[in-house]
Copies of this chain bind each other. A is one copy, B any other.
Amino acid sequence: MSDHQDTASTSEFDRETAVVPVGESLWRAEISAGWNIGNTPNGGYLLAIGTRALSLALPHPDPLTVTGHFLARSKKGPMEVEVKVHRLGSSTSTASATMSQGGEPKVVLLATFCDLSKANGVTRHEEGPPLLPLPEECVAFSGMPAEAVALQARMQQLFAPQSAGWARGELSPISDMRGWVGFADGRAPDLLSLAFFSDCFPPAAFASMGAVGWVPTLELTVHFRAKPSAGLLRCAFRSRSITGGFTEEDGELWDAEGKLVALSRQMAKVLRRG
């Protein structure tokens, strides 16, 4: 992924997820407010930064499975990323990354990398991509005021009509949020960007419950399956159960050619307003 390290890149995502080495296994990133929801940087954006540092520290080129735990609220400004390598194997390598601001850990990642171009085992899909109207039949509307969700300006995001009604009080019977997404500046999706796209839709629970409040991500795991082709990603996110405020959100990301490129699952907390 070294070609994304060009800080003179015209891509907002590459510029604002860049990491520079500042010591032994230590990297520094500059958290941008451009990927905020309210005052908080998006979890997928932070996961992408940590994953980028890991990709530079490990010999295998591709993330295979990455888990991030979100310990405390991050903010705009410098972020240190310390990588600890656990094992360098022939086909995979595993490492942790601790992302800190002012000495306080904010996000901890545990990841295994591989070379997906060597993944030549069986391929078998029991289900195809999620059903989704064509982009021209979707709605460019997040349901949130643009000034509150800086993130929106970074994306071209088109919602399935049934995933856009909640903001008008038209609730869906199920917590299902689906649509198309890409970068606003036209940067093509790649594996690294899937860490971000896994967390870029409003909470699926909003589709059935409305914007009930804040739904912070506690943990996000992404399984990377294949390099996406150019074009908008086809995404679907689903929450089936909330227990005492804790919910899962399962995501599937398919590329424009109909290929599964990532699965995600996060644990989030549904914090009702007031």
Q: Render A69-113 as a binary contact track against B, CB cut-off 8 A, 1 for contact.
A: 101100000000000001101001010101000000100111110
Return the contact of A71 from the options B86, B105, B241, B245 (Cβ within 8 A): B86
Contact B71 A246 (CB under 8 A): no
A223 touches B244 (CB 8 A): no
Q: How far is the CB of A216 from chain B (nearest CB, A)?
A: 11
In the bound complex, CA of A14 to CA of B17 (Å): 45
Task: Give chain B residues whose Cβ lies under 8 Å from the Cβ of A260.
Answer: 241, 243
Compute how far the CA of A254 lies from the CA of B272 in the bound complex, rounded to whole angstroms. Answer: 26
User: In the bound complex, what is the Cα–Cα distance between A226 and B105 (angstroms)?
Assistant: 28
CB distance from A55 to the nearest CB of B (A): 16
A48 at the interface (CB under 8 A from B): no
| A248 contacts partner chain B, Cβ-Cβ < 8 Å | yes
Contact in complex: B67, A272 (CB < 8 Å): no
Asked if A127 CB lies within 8 Å of chain B CBs, one says yes
Q: Is A8 an interface residue (CB 8 A)?
A: no
Q: A241 touches which one: B69, B87, B124 (CB < 8 A)?
A: B124
Copies of this chain present: 2
Knowing A119-B246, A241-B127, A246-B121 touch, does A267 contact B89 (C-beta < 8 A)? no
Render A202-223 as a binary contact track against B, CB cut-off 8 A, 1 for contact. 0000001100100000110101
How many chain A residues have a CB neighbour from B under 8 Å?
Answer: 58
CB-defined contacts of A239 to chain B, threshold 8 Å: 126
Bound CA–CA A270/B121 (angstroms): 7
Give bound CA distance, A71 to B113, whole Å. Answer: 11
Which A106-163 residues have C-beta < 8 A from chain B? Answer: 108-112, 116, 119-127
Identify which of A239, A242, A243 gathers the most chain B CB atoms within 10 Å of its CB.
A243
In angstroms, how far is the closest chain B Cβ from the Cβ of A113?
A: 11
Known pairs A124-B209, A125-B241, A225-B246. 13 more at Cβ < 8 A?
A: A65-B218, A67-B219, A71-B87, A86-B98, A86-B108, A96-B110, A110-B110, A121-B242, A122-B245, A123-B243, A126-B239, A223-B248, A241-B260
13 A–B contacts, CB within 8 A, in A order: A64-B246, A65-B218, A67-B219, A71-B86, A86-B105, A116-B244, A121-B242, A121-B245, A122-B212, A122-B244, A124-B241, A126-B241, A223-B246
**Nearest 4 interchain pairs by C-beta:** A121-B245, A119-B244, A110-B110, A225-B243
